[in-house]
Structure formats: C-alpha cells, structure tokens
Structure 1
C-alpha cells in the first residue's frame, strides 16, 4: 500500500471573534498528491469546497470601503493591483497579485478595503 503524500500551504483567514472583532490568522491547509488530470503527472490538491458563484471584482484606484462585514463567506484572490485590508483589532495587511484570503467576517465590525491602483480580484463565493 502506498503512503499518501501531502504538502502544506499557508492560508490567510479573516474572521470575526465572539466579541464581534475581526482578525487575520495564518492557517495550514494540507494538499494531497492525486492523479488529477491523467495522463499528466500527479499534483497536489486540497479537499473540494462547494462554490455558489464566482465573479470578477474591480476596485478602481483610490477605492476605499470603510469597515463592513463580508456579504458572504468567500475566497478573494487578487489578480492585479494592490489591496490594503484592515481589521478591527488594528492590523492592516497589503495583498499583492497572487495573494488570496478566506473571508469569513460575515458579522461584527468587519474589515476595511483600500485599492492601490486598479485592483482586479476573482471572488469565489462559498
């Protein structure tokens, strides 16, 4: 019997605590080696997540959205531009193209968003 090979990746998660404050946390997600697209060689894949919709979102240069909760649980991946996201505990993070965040702050104080340059994202709603 062959041993399952896994590779961990870092995932940024934005969430709300019991007091309604929002925070960032870095978590590990294990990817398992699978024969995903035969006859191509095996690659590493996460467990599937059911998606409701996928949309492109463009925040024009200078866009600022003050603190707001996310409309739904979603994965946001930046394709171009730069985003600065603030959480209610005072932390701010800048996301560059290729950066992704699991957004789960659907209640509480939420987060703020500032676009530096035209920021294009793909948003996968869960």
Structure 2
C-alpha cells in the first residue's frame, strides 16, 4: 500500500515521490479481532470534488495540505519538474506543494473525475 506525495522543495520546485504506508496489527474495534491499520493522520475537514471530463487547469500550488482519494475517472498531474502521475480509482494523492511553482491537473478520462478530499491539520495554525 502506498500513496503519491506531491511536495515543493526549498526552491519552490514541485516533485513526486511514492510513499509506502506502514501498517501494524492493532485492536481497532473491540471485540473484533486485531487488524492491520496505519497511524491516524490529523484532519480538519472533508469534502467531495468533481472535475468534469475535459477539464484542464492552469498550473498552481495546492491552497492547503490535503489528501485526495479518487473514486471515479482519471487525471494526469504534472509536477513543475515535469514528472507526472496518473491518478485513478483507489489511488491516494497527498498534496503538499502549498508554495512555489505548483502542479498542472488535467482530466484524461472520458468520464468525470470524482474524489474525496481530507484537509490536513496544520500545527503552525
């Protein structure tokens, strides 16, 4: 299990990295048996988003740190360094490029792109 992480370096260039998700066996819902789960990631909210088929946006940074879980459709996301990822059903994309050059997103499927987004808690306020 992994997620796609899009981040900006100190110069504002955005880059991709694939991050493995660490799972540990824990009791999550007693009296059910222990299951493999990850650590909890703090979040401030959740929203649903739809990008219509053919949607193609200008390059921009993400407004806040957030994670996207694709439900339907496909997008191609290009980091400012030129590296791309295709995000489709079941993929998780963590957006952390909140400054700098940002990224470009284009719907590449014939159907609309639909997803759930969780916005991350920022301890800096």
Q: Give me the TM-score of the superposition, normalised by structure 2.
A: 0.89
| CA shift digits 1:56-113 (9 cap, x unpaired) | 0000001111210001000101000111111111112111100001110000010111
Following the alignment from structure 1 to structure 2, what is the Cα–Cα distance between the partners of residues 66 and 33? 43
The answer to whether the aligner puts 1:79 opposite 2:78 as a matched pair is no
Query: Could you tell me which of 1, 10, 15 is aligned with 1:18?
Result: 10
- Equivalent residue number for residue 118 of structure 1: 112
Offset of 1:22 from its aligned partner? 0.5
| CA shift digits 1:10-68 (9 cap, x unpaired) | 22210001111101001223111111112222111111111111000000001111210
Secondary structure at the aligned position of 1:25 is classed as strand
Following the alignment from structure 1 to structure 2, what is the Cα–Cα distance between the partners of residues 46 and 107? 28
Following the alignment from structure 2 to structure 1, what is the Cα–Cα distance between the partners of residues 88 and 35? 25
What's the C-alpha RMSD, in Å, of the aligned pairs? 1.1
Task: Give the unaligned 5+ runs of structure 1.
Answer: 1-8
Task: Give the unaligned 5+ runs of structure 2.
Answer: 121-125
User: Which entry has the higher C-alpha Rg, 1 or 2?
Assistant: 1
27-36 or 58-67, which moves further after superposition?
Answer: 27-36
Query: Could you tell me which of 93, 99, 108 is aligned with 1:101?
Result: 93
